[in-house]
Amino acid sequence: MYRILVKPLFLLCVGLSCVTHSIANEEYPTRPVKILDGYSPGGGTDYLARYLAAKTGPDFGATVVVENRQGASGQIAMSTVAKSKPDGYTLMAIPNELWSVAPLLYKNLPFNAERELVPIATLAEVPLVLTANPKVATKTPQELIAFAKANPDKLTFGSAGAGTTHHLAAELFKSMAKIEMVHVPYKGTSAAVSDLLAGQIDLVFSPITAVLPHIKSGKLKALAVAGKKRVAALPDTPTIAEAGLPGYESGVWVILVGPAQTPNHVIDKWITQTRKVFSTDDARAALAVQGVEPLHMSQEEIRQRNRDDMERWRKVIGDAKISIE
């Protein structure tokens, strides 16, 4: 009798296990999901995270909230996610610099991106724009370069902080143009743009989201786009490569990440969701107003692009002797 029952009981247990596993996969999420942003509200990552959260909550049948956790150039939020339980309830929208640049700049990061985090999906590409205060007489990158060569260290440029993509974009520009300008670091893009508007600094390599309204109103002027192609929001603004520095390219792209060991069914659900959200005509139109373009990449493509970024910026950081304790 015992032998007769063993097999049916075993099969029943296996069956129940499969059903339980299937239900667990289908039920995510059963409670609120947090998407962290390591910067102040109103930035490019914040905008994208909130757009994703607003569209995803109803689709998932659960609350999806965005929490701004500022500090240490995004490292506090990134460390929080890296140390979180890998269950899909704590995620983060990050600019590429937190993955590919931070390890080159900081000796003691509170996280190891390669070991402790998993890239889930790309959200969008946020172009950088070489933006000037109207008092700066130059109208093109060529004129800017000529002026800077004739007046070393007279021009000032702001950034969201030492070692940020904004800073490195300017250092790459300086290196390729063989000019000298003075760097003025701020604690975030909004502070740098505020001083640019006030005429306290001359230039900023800014995410388009922070400067587009001011460019449209005439309070600031766009000299060039830093990416490899023009952007629809500024169709008459050339790329820096077009305008005299062939091969120049820099930009910000935003990734959704989670703790390492996040279950595959959670990752797959978010991959499907991000593509659904950012592939609609409504999303493209909403992002176009901000000058942003949706970006779809596989996990391996994300890792490869991060490796490419690290190689590009390693040389810039070394040549500019940028060091952050």
137-184 pLDDT per residue, tens: 999 999 999 999 999 999 999 998 888 888 999 999 999 999 999 999
pLDDT tens sequence across 79-128 = 999 999 999 999 999 999 888 898 898 888 889 998 999 999 999 999 99
Q: Domains for the chain: give ranges and CATH numbers.
A: 29-126+252-320 (3.40.190.150), 128-225 (3.40.190.10)
Supply the pLDDT for residue 325: 64
Determine phi and psi for 46, rounding to 5 degrees.
-65, -45
Instruction: Identify which has the larger pLDDT, 39 or 25.
Output: 39
Supply the pLDDT for residue 2: 41
pLDDT tens sequence across 265-305 = 999 999 999 999 999 999 999 998 888 999 999 999 999 99
Indicate the pTM of the whole model: 0.81
Give 73's DSSP letter. Answer: G
Burial of 318 (0-12, 13-18, 19+ CB in 10 A): exposed
pLDDT tens sequence across 63-82 = 999 999 988 878 999 999 99
Closest listed residue to residue 69, CA positions, set 101, 104, 39, 46? 39
Supply the pLDDT for residue 267: 97
Average pLDDT of the segment spanning 219-244? 94
Q: Which residues pair with 130 in a beta bridge?
A: 205, 224
pLDDT tens sequence across 197-231 = 999 999 999 999 889 999 999 999 999 999 989 99
Supply the pLDDT for residue 24: 46
Determine phi and psi for 106, rounding to 5 degrees.
-110, 135
Report the relative pairing of strands 203-207 and 182-185 from DSSP bridges: unpaired
Tokens 């007279």 -> residue? 154
The span from the CA of 228 to the CA of 240, in Å, is 8
pLDDT of 34 > 60? The answer is yes
The CA-atom distances, in angstroms, between 151 and each of 156, 165, 174, 224, 275 are 11, 25, 13, 21, 48
